[in-house]
Amino acid sequence: MSGPQLELAFWISQPVLQTAVAVVLYRRKLHKEFPGFFAYVVLQVIAFSVQFPIYLANNAPAYFDVFWAGVALNVVLAFKIIHEIFIDVLRPYPALKDFGTALFKWAGIVMVLVSAVMIFVSPRAADPLTKSILVVQRCCDMVQCGLVLFLLAFCKTLKISWRRLSFGIALGFGMISGAELFTSAVYTGTFLHEILTNLINMGAWNLAVLLWLSYAIWSRKETPLPVLVPQRWDEALTDLHSRGSDESLIPMFESMVDRALSRAQNSHP
């Protein structure tokens, strides 16, 4: 089988596997726990049903517009999925969950600002909208890879079971993001490398969807129990938060900084 034929086979097999993932999630009522991920999988099937007829009609401008519109929606849903994974992992720790949500919002704002700076300082492209979407997607890929590293680093501390669906979702997105970052780094623009790049990305996609299907079928619904060390972190955040008069974490941090500065000033003669 030639490269283009294998590429087409990978592409056609994706909606079949994604439909199976969506059906299993719905039948096991997992779509209520991960609505963003369920919407993401359904969106991929809808996008294929729109893109494939346009591809067969050889309408390049329409296919280009539909493809990049789908990429933009995927980036938006990717943020929602990352937040769902954090919420599921930190579910036993309310204070840590609130703290993580606050950090997640600020990280999203910082990432948008970094993307805007990268778009502004990089050379002008023929299609600035497509370039902007691509830059934001690369930043999102880096966040997803960082999420996988976070789970691998703290899975023992937080007692995160590798059988949980959130862990499988993160691993799948880590595979996709890692492949996209790798191919974007080594891509040279030649025809051979274009086919190889597409095969690597689509192969990672298919492996990720197979992984999601396996987790959707065999993952266990288990209520995580608090662990001693993270529970201490949660209690410390709760204690600090209860001392503040506002529900926001920002005044608490400001008071901590003010106390540290006053102590530093008093220490000088």
Q: What is the DSSP letter of 244?
A: S
Query: Which positions ≥6 away from 29 have C-beta within 8 Å?
Result: none
pLDDT tens digit string along 134-157?
777 777 777 777 777 777 776 666
Instruction: Look at residue 257 in the predicted model and tell me its pLDDT.
Output: 45
Sign of the torsion formed by the C-alpha atoms of 100, 102, 104 and 106: negative
Region 67-90 average pLDDT: 82
Q: What is the rounded distance in angstroms from the CA atom of residue 155 to the CA atom of residue 144?
A: 16
* Tokens (6 digits) for 263: 């102590």
pLDDT of 203 > 70? The answer is: yes
Residue with tokens 């994974």: 85
Q: What is the rounded distance in angstroms from the CA atom of residue 125 to the CA atom of residue 133?
A: 12
Instruction: Look at residue 197 in the predicted model and tell me its pLDDT.
Output: 86
CB of 83 within 8 A of CB of 171? no
- Radius of gyration of the chain, Cα coordinates, nearest whole angstrom: 22
pLDDT of 221 > 60? The answer is: yes
Q: pTM of this prediction?
A: 0.73
Q: What is the CATH number of domain 3-225?
A: 1.20.1070
CB of 180 within 8 A of CB of 141? yes
Q: Report residue 15's pLDDT band, with 50, 70 and 90 as the boundaries.
A: very high
Query: Which positions ≥6 away from 192 have C-beta within 8 Å?
Result: none
Q: Which residue has the higher pLDDT, 40 or 190?
A: 40
Instruction: Look at residue 98 in the predicted model and tell me its pLDDT.
Output: 64
pLDDT of 191 > 70? The answer is: no
Which residues of the chain does CATH 1.20.1070 include? 3-225
Q: What is the rounded distance in angstroms from the CA atom of residue 15 to the CA atom of residue 39?
A: 14
Query: Which positions ≥6 away from 77 have C-beta within 8 Å?
Result: 36, 39, 40, 43
pLDDT of 133 > 60? The answer is: yes
Q: Which residue has the higher pLDDT, 223 or 110?
A: 110
Q: What is the rounded distance in angstroms from the CA atom of residue 196 to the CA atom of residue 191?
A: 9
